[in-house]
Amino acid sequence: MQIHRRGQLLAEGYTDSEVRRKVRAGEIVVVRRGTYVAEGEVPRAPGERHALDVRAAVPRLASDAVVSHVSAAALHGLPLWGLALDRVHVTRQRIGGGRVEAHLHVHAAVLPPEDLAVVDGIAVTSPARTVVDLARRASFEVAVAVADAALFAKLITADDMDRAVGRAGHRPGVGASRRVARFADGAAESVGESRSRVLMRAAGLPTPELQRPIRTRLGVVRTDFAWPQQRLVGEFDGVVKYGSLRRPGQDAADVVVEEKRREDAIRDEGWRVTRWLWRELDPFDELAARLARLLS
């Protein structure tokens, strides 16, 4: 994706009138004032759109500004479910002087070298620092989804997160980030699985094993959640999950049939299987009651 800036377009010979005409014609789309992309290159996914906003904002930022918080998460490719995307977040290397503007949130903090990284030439907070910053401010459920994803993608390790929590010292919310670090698990493969884990714990349900291997007639399969003592398997069904399971040449129906064969093979080994959808997570009461019955 190529970002076009007003100064660049003028240098190429376009006039302001021609730029405005291109915008009206839909040939280019305004990302931020003076920043444009071609009409067909505007991302639809909110996270990708926010990452585009960040890249458009960077040239106008102070030289010591480091992209941070939700904006760093977007550049690291982490999930942004439940996070506000209305402002670009940056941290400046100073003790005070943070401010909130219409489209920009400037934080002020000391960033040691261990908390710095570079993504596509842009200075950002490291994945571990980003997770900890979000965990200090976001809800437990939202923060766990980000932390799980960072661990799953191997952007961080549990030790990385612990060290980043330690470097946070006594900053507001560090206790919350410590709880997230203790609970996070890289075996969770989606936001839906992370949310399910958090809601199960809040409902007082037994802690499941994640990605437990089960030997079946189809070979070894891994399950989203398993309670071996009760011989129960739980599977979160998400649209993204089914898309990731699709192999070249397969359509959605093929994936559903294959999942049915997989589930039958698990049942043949004496396990019960229950599945749930994203919409069953909120409210969680009905699903919690079903799981409690199956686990009793």
Polymer length of the chain: 296
Type of residue numbered 139: S
Confidence of residue 44 (pLDDT cuts 50, 70, 90): confident
**Percent with pLDDT over 70 in the chain:** 91
Confidence of residue 86 (pLDDT cuts 50, 70, 90): very high
- On the question of pLDDT at 10 being above 70, the answer is no
Q: How far is CA 105 from CA 49, 102, 169, 223, in A?
A: 17, 8, 22, 41
Return mean pLDDT, the chain: 90
91 closest CA partner among 70, 111, 75: 111
For the stretch 220-238, pLDDT in tens is 999 999 999 999 999 998 6
Q: Which CATH superfamily is domain 192-295 in?
A: VSR Endonuclease (3.40.960.10)
Please state the pTM of the whole predicted model. 0.86
Q: Are 29 and 37 in contact (CB under 8 A)?
A: yes
141 closest CA partner among 68, 201, 206, 208: 201
Q: Where are the domains of the chain?
A: 62-186, 192-295
- On the question of pLDDT at 88 being above 90, the answer is yes
More confident position, 60 or 285: 285
Q: Are 194 and 145 in contact (CB under 8 A)?
A: yes
Q: Are 55 and 74 in contact (CB under 8 A)?
A: no
